[in-house]
Structure 1
Amino acid sequence: MDLITRIADIIIPVFLIVAIGYGYARRRPPDLSSFNRISLDVLAPLLVYSALASRDFAIGEHVPLLIGGTALILGSGLLAWPLAKAFGAQPRTLVPVVMFNNCGNMGLPLALLAFGPANFGAAVALFSVSNLLHFSLGARVTSAAARTRDLLLSPLMVATMLGFFSAFTELRPPPVLLSGLKLLGDAALPLMLFALGVRLTGLTRQGLALGLLGALARPLIGLAIGIPLAWAMGLEGAARGQLLLFAALPPAVIQFMLADRYHQEPEKVAASIMVGNALAVVFVPLALALGL
């Protein structure tokens, strides 16, 4: 019951912020172009860097989970591609939704609750590998217009590389500066959710159907890969539970920002994220029951 309450405590604020964005856009539709550019180029990079540069994160302890997380993300993408073709969906819309999950604002607090502070670094490791793949391979899957050179030099990729550098070398900014960077980075999540609500004003019935497909495919495909993968890798205890929780999380909120930047059906991506977050009440407890 405590876990269900915790999931609800995470999901309800998500829906509240999205609803505020939706209500505002119904009365006064905003221009999201500058809004989203700031989120992707300033706020999200600071969010990623501050998580990786945290003094509580020792990346060398989590190599098996980094490998498992990478295999799960890539395997989900391979299975999502024929699924998109079978249902007449655009692969560039559906595949990234299935590949990348909400391991930041939902995965991190849930992992802390379920596995305790001693195992929190594992959740940060999965978060880091997801971000690295999301803003390189994931952006290319979302749009053919995403050029490799631009991606490698993007603020998000630079922040991720600097974060890994800090994690490996333990060279970090002074705590007072890191706290300021984290404070600004934390603003990314509510702003992304607000923008998601704005985009939902353009949702059609057809878009909602695709949203349901993405919302269900993300945890179902994730668990279908994650369960045998954890067994094959010999993961046990908290490591096995962390991988299964990662497998069952709903679609990543930040994928909406990429879809919006590249004009890849952002309304349908927004629907997948909304429905997927609601279904987390079912799939997250299932994953934890399998992993604990």
Structure 2
Amino acid sequence: MDILNVLQIVFPVFCVIAIGYIFAGIKEIDLDPVLDILIYITIPALVISSLSQKSFLPAELILTAISVIGVVLICGGLCYIYLRITRRTDLKGLYLPTMFMNSGNMAFPLAFLAFGSEGLSVAVLYYVSISILVYTLGIYIAKGTGGMKEIFRLPLIYAAAISIILNLAHIKLPAFVLDTTTMMGAATIPLMQISLGVRLRSTKISMISTSITASLIRIAGGVAAAYIIVTLLGIEGLNKKVIILASSMPAAVITFIMSHKYKVDSALVASTVAISTLISVITTPLVLLWLMTMD
């Protein structure tokens, strides 16, 4: 695939994010109702429609989860080394944006446009794994105590569990249920992208050098970690490409929300989210171009 085709994949994604950013400058937007619609309606619907239509082997589910855990821990390790070298171990909030990537807002549309519905299904699996880690390990980092209770408040966990069980049992959903979830799930991608643009509009940049370094750990570290892990685990084909793509995404917006809620370096986390997203405008096409050359 040549550069033009890669740009045709990337442009719509960043274009919709830009629309959200511009619109937020024209009109004041309350994101809370939109986020509620995403969390409680459209994301669970997307999980059901995506995972119900793709056949998964148990090993595939396990290897994807192991890959996600590995990428998160390696990036966390790189952040730890950086904070030790710079003698800024007090900035524990920096672990959040370096470890947890935007595997929803950006990875969903990119995986879909680059690899079709099959790619989106793998991205959804990746997202479910990341969500579990965010609401356990992420809360532990930010708050200092476990966050197991938070997992059971996420509808996507139940949607994923039901879908995976039905999938492994080879039970097909009735057509009207599948059509309904597909229709609702289709709203997820544009809503996520627009929400990201709106959120970036209110983000202020601070501690630029630290934010840039953290962004590079998140993106470059994520790519390197994912490539090493999928190679060691013997993951090939579409799964390999989507895992690497998702691991190359910028810092997740949820990390800013979490840092703000628990009052842990929220300005730095917000800055890292914004800068890593800007950097991804350059890195994402490069990663996609590389992935398209893989067998």
User: Normalization by structure 2: what TM-score?
Assistant: 0.75
Counterparts of 1:100 and 1:16 in 2: how far apart (Å)? 23
Counterparts of 1:119 and 1:202 in 2: how far apart (Å)? 32
Deviation at 1:76, TM superposition (A): 2.1
Please give the per-residue CA displacement for 1:74-132, whole angstroms capped at 9, x wherever unaligned.
3223323443564959443x433333334456546666777788888655544443344
Matches within 5 A, 1:42-53: 42-52=41-51
Matches within 5 A, 1:142-181: 147-181=147-181
Matches within 5 A, 1:13-92: 13-52=12-51, 54-62=52-60, 63-83=62-82, 86=86, 90-92=91-93
Which residue identity is paired with 1:203? T
Please give the per-residue CA displacement for 1:33-73, whole angstroms capped at 9, x wherever unaligned.
22223322322222223222x23231325143443333223
The verdict on how the C-alpha distance between 1:189 and 1:215 changes in structure 2, with shifts beyond 3 A counting, is farther
Which segments of 5 or more consecutive residues in structure 2 lack a partner in the other structure? Answer: none
Which residue identity is paired with 1:5? L
**Secondary structure of 1:57 counterpart:** coil
The question of 1:274 aligning with 2:273 is answered no
Alpha-carbon contact 2:43-2:185 (below 8 Å) kept: yes
The verdict on how the C-alpha distance between 1:134 and 1:171 changes in structure 2, with shifts beyond 3 A counting, is farther
Q: How many residues align?
A: 288
**Residue 216 (structure 1) aligns with:** 216
The verdict on how the C-alpha distance between 1:151 and 1:228 changes in structure 2, with shifts beyond 3 A counting, is closer
Deviation at 1:8, TM superposition (A): 2.2
Counterparts of 1:115 and 1:26 in 2: how far apart (Å)? 33
Deviation at 1:30, TM superposition (A): 1.9
Alpha-carbon contact 1:230-1:240 (below 8 Å) kept: yes
The verdict on how the C-alpha distance between 1:143 and 1:82 changes in structure 2, with shifts beyond 3 A counting, is farther
Counterparts of 1:113 and 1:198 in 2: how far apart (Å)? 22
The verdict on how the C-alpha distance between 1:29 and 1:124 changes in structure 2, with shifts beyond 3 A counting, is closer
Identity of aligned residues (%): 26
Which residue identity is paired with 2:216? L
Deviation at 1:221, TM superposition (A): 0.9
Counterparts of 2:247 and 2:66 in 1: how far apart (Å)? 13
Alpha-carbon contact 2:137-2:146 (below 8 Å) kept: no
Matches within 5 A, 1:97-116: 97-104=97-104, 107=107
User: Normalization by structure 1: what TM-score?
Assistant: 0.76
Which residue identity is paired with 2:199? R
Alpha-carbon contact 2:20-2:194 (below 8 Å) kept: yes
The verdict on how the C-alpha distance between 1:130 and 1:240 changes in structure 2, with shifts beyond 3 A counting, is same
Counterparts of 1:273 and 1:184 in 2: how far apart (Å)? 30
Which segments of 5 or more consecutive residues in structure 1 lack a partner in the other structure? Answer: none
Counterparts of 1:60 and 1:202 in 2: how far apart (Å)? 42
Deviation at 1:271, TM superposition (A): 0.7
Q: CA RMSD in A?
A: 3.7
